[in-house]
Amino acid sequence: MPFSPQVHDNPRPVNFSQTRVAVVGGGPAGLMAAIQSAGSGAGTLLLEKMPRCGLKLRLTGKGRCNLTNTAGIEDFLAHFGEQGPFLRNAFHRFFNDDLRKLLEDLRVQTVVERGGRVFPVDDSASSIADALIRHATQSGAVIACNIRVKRIRAVPDSGFFLDMEKPDGRLYSCRAEAVILATGGLSYPGTGSSGDGYGFAGSLGHSIVPLKPALVPLVTEGKRARRLQGLSLKNVKMTLRVGNRERTWLGEMLFTHFGLSGPIVLSASRYAVEGLDSGKTVTLSFDLKPALDDRKLDARILRELSGHGRQQWKNLLKKLIPLRLVPLCCEETHIDETKPCHQVTAEDRKALRHWLKHFSFQIVGHRGWDEAIVTSGGVRLSEVTPNTLESKTSAGLYVAGELLDLQADTGGYNLQAAFSTGWLAGRAAAEKTSGKTVDL
């Protein structure tokens, strides 16, 4: 029997007679899913609750969009921690080069920067969002913005019924053979990602791994960080201690009015948040001279001291650390900043070496959802088939993007995961509803 889903606008029905696949959410995962589903020949309706698609995508990479990374698959997967292997299928089918090629075909050139991070040449995240929206429409997808999906019901042998609402309160309903959930996580709720998908997935039989802010700035005890607000330190080695467990990162961090942020702090934050939630003591310690061991560091200090006997200690310190760190360093090492260099003792040098190698902060909290870059937790991966992204609890339901229990470090990994899972879910849903084989 031919399938003829409808979107009803009471009292006037709007007929999307070709719709077979409904995609809920117009972020990177949903847009890519709609492109692939429609491009594979399935009538596709994309439903987005905000006035336009890709609001969060337009903010990514400080408006420049770090869309992917040039790392190889194994390296890429490692950035997702224990959940990484789930993505292997999706990445084998659509990966970083495929994404860049697709964007080039859409006339969005990309460029590789430090650490393999890929950005659009014009530094505009909106170019990417707009190109994907255009491509989705050209592929035949119908995009309906300002429509919030409120409820999804699975009806045996009839697919799914979706209840929807317009901002003015008008209600709609729609039937679809397959539904792709791409509603994102909970971070930056102002962009539309307010967690609706967890409720849909839960009502269709899924369990949700507890949700926590990830890639989120951390709050430190006391006012030390505040004094350094705005200062960033590059090439530092950072050690996170949660209880007895230690993990290290190398890179750049930033002091803020509440504590610590910057790439390596954000990457460490998911472990810090877990530790805080389980009541463990969490500290971050910075080695400001990671390339020098204790002996070499002492030799370097002695070199600076020699020949500068009348100079004040603080002037020597300026050669070793950023100027803004000098007063704090003097206070915490208990060395008078005006002390002449010829009076500096072996004890003083030892205190300085220890401070430079163990500049530590106790972590007492984290910032909220409106500052978290991604969501940790989500639809449990063991309930989703990795090579199609179809739900194991509700046939014809697919899950893509940040809604899944996946989160990675900064560097373009999260967006690639959204694009790759959207790609795979779109193709698989089209194949399922057509009964034909689509090239997965």
Ligand X SMILES: Cc1cc2nc3c(=O)[nH]c(=O)nc-3n(C[C@H](O)[C@H](O)[C@H](O)COP(=O)(O)OP(=O)(O)OC[C@H]3O[C@@H](n4cnc5c(N)ncnc54)[C@H](O)[C@@H]3O)c2cc1C
Query: Under a CB-based contact definition with an 8 Å cutoff, are residues 25 and 184 in contact?
Result: yes
Does residue 44 interact with ligand X by CB under 6 A? no
Nearer to ligand X, 193 or 394 (CB): 193
Nearer to ligand X, 283 or 414 (CB): 414
Nearer to ligand X, 163 or 304 (CB): 163
Contacts of 320 (CB under 8 A, 6+ apart): 289, 300, 301, 304, 356
Which residue of 401, 420, 427, 431 would you call a contact of ligand X, by CB under 6 A? 401
Does residue 84 interact with ligand X by CB under 6 A? no
Nearer to ligand X, 187 or 269 (CB): 187
Does residue 61 interact with ligand X by CB under 6 A? yes
Does residue 188 interact with ligand X by CB under 6 A? yes
Does residue 193 interact with ligand X by CB under 6 A? yes
Residues in the interface with ligand X (CB under 6 A) total: 38
Does residue 27 interact with ligand X by CB under 6 A? yes
Query: Under a CB-based contact definition with an 8 Å cutoff, are residues 65 and 42 in contact?
Result: no
The minimum distance between CB 26 and ligand X, in angstroms, equals 5
Does residue 263 interact with ligand X by CB under 6 A? no
Stretch that binds ligand X, among 44-52, 228-236, 274-282, 388-396 (CB under 6 A): 44-52
What the block records as the tokens of 265 is 């702090």
Stretch that binds ligand X, among 21-29, 236-244, 283-291, 349-357 (CB under 6 A): 21-29
DSSP H or E stretch at residue 20: strand 19-24
Does residue 177 interact with ligand X by CB under 6 A? no
The minimum distance between CB 429 and ligand X, in angstroms, equals 15
Distance CA 119, CA 121 (A): 6
What is residue 181's DSSP assignment?
E
Site mask for ligand X (CB under 6 A), range 410-429, x = bound: --xxxx--x-----------
What the block records as the tokens of 350 is 């030892």
Can you say how many angstroms the Cα of residue 13 is from the centroid of all Cα atoms in its chain? 39
Does residue 96 interact with ligand X by CB under 6 A? no
Phi, psi of 188 (to 5 degrees): 50, 60
Does residue 142 interact with ligand X by CB under 6 A? no
Phi, psi of 105 (to 5 degrees): -60, -25
Query: Under a CB-based contact definition with an 8 Å cutoff, are residues 166 and 138 in contact?
Result: no
Phi, psi of 68 (to 5 degrees): -160, -170
**How far, in Å, are 297, 369, 377 from residue 270 at the CA level?**
32, 13, 10
Which residue of 21, 99, 182, 379 would you call a contact of ligand X, by CB under 6 A? 182
Distance CA 161, CA 152 (A): 6
Does residue 47 interact with ligand X by CB under 6 A? yes
For residue 306, how many other CB atoms are within 10 A of its CB? 10
Report 363-392 residues binding ligand X (CB under 6 A): 373-374
Number of residues in the chain: 440
- Which residues of the chain form contacts with ligand X (CB under 6 A)? 24-30, 47-50, 55-57, 59-61, 65-66, 148-149, 182-184, 187-188, 192-193, 196, 373-374, 401-402, 412-415, 418
